[in-house]
Amino acid sequence: MLTNNATDSQDSVQAGYRAIRQASLDLCVPLENEDFGLQAMPETSPPKWHLAHTTWFFETFVLKPFAAGYRTFHPRYEYLFNSYYNGVGAQYPRSRRGLLSRPTVREVLDYRAAVDTAMIRLLEQADHADRETILQRSILGLHHEQQHQELLCTDIKYSLSFNPLYPALGKPAAVKPAPVRRAVNFLEFSPGDTQMGYAGRGFHFDNEAPAHTRHLPGFRFADRLVTNAEYLAFMREGGYENPEPWLADGWIWRQENAAEHPRYWVSQDGAWFEYTLCGLIPLDPDLPVSHVNYYEADAYARWCGRRLPAEQEWEAVCRRLEPAPAHHAIALHPRAAAYDGGITQMFGSLWQWTRSAYSPYPGYRPAAGAIGEYNGKFMCNQMVLRGSSCVTPPGHARPSYRNFFYPKDQWQFSGIRLADDL
């Protein structure tokens, strides 16, 4: 697996390129042709657009500047598939991506194939004068593609959730672990200095650096995520009717959207169900509550008399207790916590809201040029989520990884980890 931008060989980049590009296509195998254009809200993009945009990234940042004699696949694709890079040029409105019936799925696949051929040819040029930059940008493009693989899952789930047929893209895991039900445990961490950010030689996004030291007061940290059963208790005790635990913005969001339950919960004949990528299933009390936004997570924590962890606390716990995250296969829905006496569900289950605003680390400087727009310009009004989810591709789980979304956003695989002051 491709992990390192400083030492990866040309061969491993080539192998990673083929595998990761193919993984995007594999994700789309369960889709019907009619699914490829769905866009249910401006924040989500159709699967077809994800396939084309990730291709545009390689064409724009690798092929155009470095592949001698490369001819753009289509003169208007830059306008259609540039997401937000103002340094590159104007963009087709994000909210109208679902109107792009053309190019067709077939034409987008042809676009991918043409760019792949040119990319492999370029990656084979061992004596290219800009080889290091080509490799580094290719690796960035592959991590970018993997981020879009997760977005493809979250976006198509949101779009399909509006269909009363509740389409399924796969089957639930055949074997369900038998959870041992018990109250959440809070582990205590004494005050002290902790290392923050990425300090190794492997790939990391610019928002994970520079590494630095932070002093943390003592805190308590929950050993698992909040379950559906626990969140249901919050609802049954008036959680969505009582403004007391809600932030002001959160209560306005709740009122304006008439929110009464997590995004994909469905009430039928007095019973709760949950829409998943495996279709509509009875609400499982032991699974972690998913697709809650920051406002809901914060209100739940306050209702419990607790709080959400700071991102520094989350990373400190991860560094002290959690072994390096193992690569896990993508699953369509998170599983129940496996109680082993330690901290569980840090990775591979749900992204965990923190109470930390997404802001630059001390000394952070985005790269020059359009590529510097990747992360830095979003450091305003968003909250950090830590960990990884069941649909996060391998290689995107590490203690320093910072995900970020707006407080109102529910469509990501996001859950709740509780913390408290010591």
- Using the contact rule CB under 5 A, the part of the chain among 61-69, 78-86, 172-180, 289-297 near Fe ion is 78-86
Q: How far is the CB of 68 from Fe ion (least distance, A)?
A: 26
Q: How far is the CB of 369 from Fe ion (least distance, A)?
A: 16
Q: How far is the CB of 2 from Fe ion (least distance, A)?
A: 18
Q: How far is the CB of 202 from Fe ion (least distance, A)?
A: 21
d(CA 263, CA 260): 9
Specify the residue, 142 or 336, whose C-beta has the smaller distance to Fe ion.
142
Q: How far is the CB of 145 from Fe ion (least distance, A)?
A: 9
Instruction: Report residue 154: phi and psi, to 5°.
Output: -70, -35
Specify the residue, 55 or 83, whose C-beta has the smaller distance to Fe ion.
83
Specify the residue, 83 or 345, whose C-beta has the smaller distance to Fe ion.
83
Site string for Fe ion, 118-147 (x = CB under 5 A): ------------------------------
Distance of CA 336 to the CA centre of its chain: 20
Question: Are 390 and 413 spatial neighbours (Cβ–Cβ below 8 Å)?
Answer: yes
Q: How many CB atoms lie within 10 A of CB 182?
A: 10
Specify the residue, 83 or 159, whose C-beta has the smaller distance to Fe ion.
83
Q: How far is the CB of 372 from Fe ion (least distance, A)?
A: 14
- The two tokens of residue 293 are 């936004």
For residue 384, list its beta bridge partners.
404
Question: Are 399 and 318 spatial neighbours (Cβ–Cβ below 8 Å)?
Answer: yes
- The two tokens of residue 131 are 């080889």
Specify the residue, 83 or 138, whose C-beta has the smaller distance to Fe ion.
83
- Using the contact rule CB under 5 A, the part of the chain among 76-84, 110-118, 215-223, 271-279 near Fe ion is 76-84
Specify the residue, 83 or 207, whose C-beta has the smaller distance to Fe ion.
83
d(CA 267, CA 281): 11
Number of residues that bind Fe ion (CB under 5 A): 1
Q: How far is the CB of 93 from Fe ion (least distance, A)?
A: 16
- The two tokens of residue 405 are 């979304």
Assess 154 for contact with Fe ion (CB under 5 A): no
Tell me which residue has its CB nearest to Fe ion: 83
Q: How far is the CB of 116 from Fe ion (least distance, A)?
A: 18
- The two tokens of residue 250 are 């959160």
Q: How many CB atoms lie within 10 A of CB 373?
A: 17
d(CA 200, CA 204): 9
Tell which residue, 110, 169, 243, has the closest CA to residue 391: 169
Helices of type H across 227-322 = 228-236, 248-256, 294-303, 311-321
- Using the contact rule CB under 5 A, the part of the chain among 33-41, 75-83, 237-245, 336-344 near Fe ion is 75-83
- Using the contact rule CB under 5 A, the part of the chain among 16-24, 79-87, 228-236, 306-314 near Fe ion is 79-87
Specify the residue, 130 or 373, whose C-beta has the smaller distance to Fe ion.
373
Tell which residue, 107, 79, 103, has the closest CA to residue 93: 79
Q: How far is the CB of 290 from Fe ion (least distance, A)?
A: 23
Q: How many CB atoms lie within 10 A of CB 395?
A: 19
Specify the residue, 49 or 294, whose C-beta has the smaller distance to Fe ion.
49
- The two tokens of residue 340 are 């082993």
Site string for Fe ion, 81-120 (x = CB under 5 A): --x-------------------------------------
Question: Are 278 and 170 spatial neighbours (Cβ–Cβ below 8 Å)?
Answer: yes
Q: Which residues bind Fe ion (CB under 5 A)?
A: 83
